[in-house]
Structure 1
Amino acid sequence: MSDIVVRLLLEEDWQTYRQARLDALQDSPDAFAASYEDEEKLDESEWRDRMNRSRRLVAEKDGKTVGVVSVGSRPDTDDRTTELFGLWVVPEQRGSGVAWQLVKAGARQASEDGFGFLAYWVGTDNGRGVAFASSFGFRPTDARRPMRVGGGDDDEEMRMIYSLHDPVNE
């Protein structure tokens, strides 16, 4: 069995990120606040701009992309906190530890970038997502917002927070 390698993508890796993002949108269209049709039309300069707005991490196994996550600040957070978002793992690798490795690498990157906390938004009715984040060390907060995708009028997500002052789980 080969190991999962998680690496930080640089601007010149925009095509790798583009393909992973488009694969995620095709596989899980209700999980993201974007559509495959819209993002597939973006040109190279728009993808390069995205690479510079947030950190993009990709998980690879045997040279193939098996997952992706992004880390970056959002306008609604303070300067000590950054967000983990866009987490996706190819279906055949779910439950194999890829998501854990991506979140661990994302937390490490956020810490290296000087942040003290990592936020992660999870649907309040997504028991599996809440359990996963909790097992990693994220704790629920009182912050709630309407679901941006795939939810009904009353569906909401909660902000979970992870202190980067604690050692990242091994």
Structure 2
Amino acid sequence: MEIRLLGPEDAKAFSKVRLEGLQKDPDAFGALYEEEIKRTDAEWKERLSNAHTGDSGFFGAFVEGEIVGIIGFFRHRGTKARHKVSVVSMYVRESHRGTGIAAGLMQEEIAYLKKRGDVDQVQLAVVTSNPAATRFYEKMGFLPYGFEKKALKIGERYVDETHMYLMINE
């Protein structure tokens, strides 16, 4: 398994896994498949072109050259909040779940953020309807700090989220 920061050259493979995640686990993401499928190749490449700035990016896990999992991050804007980063878009293909890929992705992203030296806190939101994901994040050291009722609206149905954080440079 190889885990690395993705660049524009990975856009086609990244979009395939991202769209798969939105289709298979729609409640777990803030985006809709119907919206993301409309992105152009240029938009997917642009999404992966900011990694060198450290303000946002995606990591991919590869097995035998095929991308099987992704995790993203974005840095909060504004001087008073730049010490915080949010984890987004975590997804591992069903065929590779339970193999340590999710942990590897999270560990690689956290190591990257630690190495930057200017990030103190990593945050994420997890839907309460996915207790396995919550347990995973707890095992990775994340602690809950809030609950958001009706965080996402999917059609006429609402999904609640637990907000979690991890201090990385203490």
Q: TM (normalized to structure 1)? A: 0.82
8 Å CA contact 1:74, 1:82 repeated in 2: yes
Question: Which of 62, 66, 69 pairs up with 1:67?
Answer: 69
Give the length in aligned residue pairs.
162
Higher mean displacement: 76-85 or 104-113? 76-85
Asked if 1:132 corresponds to 2:136, the answer is yes
> Match of 2:61, as an amino acid?
A
Q: TM (normalized to structure 2)? A: 0.82
Question: Which of 126, 140, 147 pairs up with 2:151?
Answer: 147
- Local SS of the residue matching 1:129: helix
Asked if 1:115 corresponds to 2:119, the answer is yes
Aligned to 2:8: 11
Deviations along 1:46-74, one digit per CA (max 9) or x if unpaired, are: 21221226211100111111101101124
Cα offset for 1:149?
5.2
CA RMSD of aligned residues (A): 2.4
* Aligned counterparts of 2:76 and 2:93: Cα–Cα separation in 1: 26
Higher mean displacement: 88-97 or 47-56? 47-56
* Aligned counterparts of 1:140 and 1:64: Cα–Cα separation in 2: 33
TM alignment of 1:88-103, pairs within 5 A: 88-103=91-106
- Local SS of the residue matching 2:152: coil
Structure 1 gaps of 5+ residues are: none
Q: Percentage identity across aligned positions?
A: 26
> Match of 2:7, as an amino acid?
L
Higher strand content, 1 or 2: 2
Structure 2 gaps of 5+ residues are: none
8 Å CA contact 2:76, 2:83 repeated in 1: no
